[in-house]
Amino acid sequence: MGSEPTIHRRRWLRPLWVVVTVVVISGAGGAYWYYARGGTADAVDHPAGPSATATVTRETIAATERFDGTLGYGEPSTIAAGSRGTITAVAAENSAVARGTELYRLNEQPVTALFGEIPMYRDLAPGAQGVDVEQLEANLGRLGYGGYTVDDVYTMATADAVRAWQEDIGADESGVVGRADVVFVPEAARVDALHVDVGTPVNPGVPVLDLTGAKQTASAQVDVVDRALLAVGTRVTVELPDGGTVAGRVASTEIAATAQEGDATGSGQSASAGDAVVNVEVVLDKQIEGGLLGSPVEVVARSQEREDVLVVPVTALLAVAGGEYGLEVVRSNGSTSIIEVETGLFSEGKVEVSGHGIQEGTVVGVAGR
């Protein structure tokens, strides 16, 4: 890197032979100061340090990417009527849905939410076998009903437990769980919207209500090339419209169906992979004020990270001859010199630096000198 040139603040005692130029140059994250030097000149031996300084620190620095999102509860799923009848009761909007929650009543028979991945696709009665039986028995056990073995066989003991449960929820005590009696949902949920009122007659398949997850989310749609930055499980920060932030975790990513190019002309050509987008759901670590629901937010994800590196404010950088960067090092006696440095990652007004003589605790000048 050569010798370390020393900056001297001086008043000229004879005609100007040397030109010192200071130019502000915009750069990534801040302003740089450019020093062009030439010739020699006598100087007063009273060096003056910069008017503002900073200290070189050792820390982790990360670059980030930002994605536009919307605050809410995620995409809703619709619960439809399983049989024909009249709606005689329905859960309230925004109400919580736990294991055993009554979603609605059809002809005064309760339709209950239980937890599980397998939909209720058949009636369950003594003699039935399968993983759906085991799923039902596990739910009954979590609700406090016993006397049977949780397995894949619906026994008479299972039917006795079902009858006890039916008595408690006000259903016909048949010992049989009908296909339309239960709705299995993956986890705790929330009633997002109602499609019917009490007294509405319905047929199988008619929408009754919409459910969303119980936790607030930030939903974003990103280019498929950015999917790796928002993989499931990735920790992110969500910036709220009121200036606050909340941490979150990517809960799901799903490639959205790409639009068909040429639909308007009927050509039917498929969109290119570069046009694909990914729907991302970020579950927030804590609940946000309800008035902000539906508001735009920014999802901030780390794209690069450098651990245990030397860092200075970007405004400490000097552009020196040859297109390189330097720092104005301030020594304990007040004298200063420019030391050439290599820059690394830039992030949020800071930059990673390395160079001979630069170490943690070194005092450097910053813009404003």
CA distance 58 to 361: 9
Q: Is residue 236 part of a domain?
A: yes
Residue 225 and residue 310 share a domain: no
CB atoms within 10 A of CB 227: 15
Could you give the CA distance from residue 129 to residue 153 in angstroms, rounded to a whole number? Answer: 5
**Domain holding 189: CATH number?**
1.10.101.10
Work out the pLDDT band at 368, boundaries 50, 70, 90. low
Residues 311 and 360 reside in one and the same domain: yes
How many distinct structural domains can be found in the chain?
Answer: 3
**Residue 9 forms part of a structural domain:** no
Is 6 contained in some domain?
A: no
Residue 168 is given by DSSP the state H
Report if pTM > 0.75: no
User: Measured between alpha carbons, how far is 34 from 191 in angstroms, rounded to an integer?
Assistant: 61
Rounded to 10 deg, the angle between the 131-142 and 156-169 helix axes is: 50
Asked if 282 and 311 sit in the same domain, the reply is no
**215: pLDDT strictly greater than 60:** yes
- pLDDT, one tens digit per residue, over 231-287 is 999 999 999 998 999 999 999 999 886 544 444 444 444 545 556 899 999 999 998
My answer on whether 149 and 81 are in the same domain is yes
Question: 278 lies in which domain range?
Answer: 66-73+216-258+271-304
Do residues 357 and 240 share a domain? no
Q: What is the pLDDT of residue 11?
A: 32
Q: Give percent above pLDDT 70 in the chain.
A: 81
Query: Among residues 178, 212, 246, which one ends one of the domains?
Result: 212
Which of 195, 212, 229 is the C-terminal boundary of a domain?
212
Residue whose token pair is 């735009």:
296
Considering the domain boundaries, does residue 5 fall inside one? no
Instruction: Report yes or no: 337 and 4 within 8 Å, Cβ to Cβ.
Output: yes
pLDDT, tens digit, for every residue of 112-139?
A: 999 999 999 999 999 999 999 999 999 9
pLDDT value at position 367? 84
Q: Is residue 154 part of a domain?
A: yes
Same domain, residue pair 137 and 150: yes
Q: What is the CATH number of the domain that holds 342?
A: 2.40.420.20
Residues 222 and 207 in one domain: no
84 lies in some domain:
yes
Helix (H/G/I), strand (E/B), else coil: 227: helix
pLDDT at 12 over 60: no
**CATH label of the domain that carries residue 280:** 2.40.30.170
Question: How far is residue 353 from each of residues 113, 325, 358, measured CA to CA in Å?
Answer: 57, 10, 8
The per-residue pLDDT for 260 is 47
Tell me how far apart the alpha carbons of residues 56 and 236 are, in angstroms, rounded to a whole number.
27
Asked if 239 and 360 sit in the same domain, the reply is no
Per-residue confidence band for 51, with pLDDT thresholds at 50, 70 and 90 = confident
Range of lowest pLDDT (26-40, 78-92, 117-131, 179-193):
26-40
- Take residue 369 and report the two structure tokens written for it: 């000198």
Residue 147 lies in a domain: yes
Give the bridge partners for 118, in sequence order.
none
Strands (E), 11-130: 21-27, 30-36, 53-55, 57-72, 77-80, 85-90, 96-97, 102-106, 109-115
Same domain, 275 and 335: no
